[in-house]
Amino acid sequence: MQLLLILGIALAIAAVAFALQNNSTVTVTLGIWSFDSSLAMVLLLATGLGAIIAVLLSWPSMLKSMWTSARLRRQINRLEAEKDTLQRRVGQLEAELARVSPEPIPQEPPRYLGLKSILVSGETEKPKE
C-alpha cells in the first residue's frame, strides 16, 4: 500500500513537471461539451480525477481488510481467554489428582545376606522382591 502511494506521488510530480513545460492552450471536447484551457490545467485535472477514481475503487478492499483484521483480533482475544480458562482448569485437575491419588507403597529393602548365612547354608539366597 505504501509502495503504491509513493508511486502515485512520483507520477503526480512527473505530471506537474510535464504540464509546467507545456503551457500551450488546448481544447477539450467530450460529446457536446468543450472548453479551452492550458495543457497544465487539463493534465492536473485528469491526474486529480484519476486519483479520486483510484481511491474510490480501492475503498471496498480497504474496508474489507479492516473488518477482517478487527474480526481476527476479536477471535484472538476470545481464544486467549479460553486458553487461560483451560490452563486454570488443568491446574485444578492436577491438584485434585494429587489429592485423590493414593500414596505409593514403599518397597521393603532387600534382605541383607550376612557372611555367616552364606557360609552355613552353602547356597546364596536371592532376596525376594
Q: Give Cα separations from 58 to 5, 6, 18 (angstroms).
A: 12, 16, 27
Between 121 and 69, the more confident residue is 69
The structure's pTM equals 0.46
Q: What is the pLDDT of residues 24-79, one digit of tens each?
A: 888 888 888 888 988 888 877 888 899 899 999 999 999 999 999 999 999 999 99
- What percentage of the chain reaches a pLDDT higher than 70? 91
pLDDT at 50: 92
> Which range has highest mean pLDDT (41-50, 91-100, 111-120)?
91-100
pLDDT at 48: 87
* Cα–Cα distance for residue pair 127/110, rounded to 1 Å: 6
Q: Residue 90 pLDDT > 90, yes or no?
A: yes
Cβ-Cβ contacts under 8 Å for 27 (sequence gap 6 or more)? 34, 35, 36
Calculate mean pLDDT across residues 85-113. 85
Q: Identify the band that residue 127 occupies on the pLDDT scale cut at 50, 70 and 90.
A: low
Calculate mean pLDDT across residues 89-104. 87
Task: Name 34's bridge partners.
Answer: 29
Domain coordinates in residue numbering, the chain: 2-100
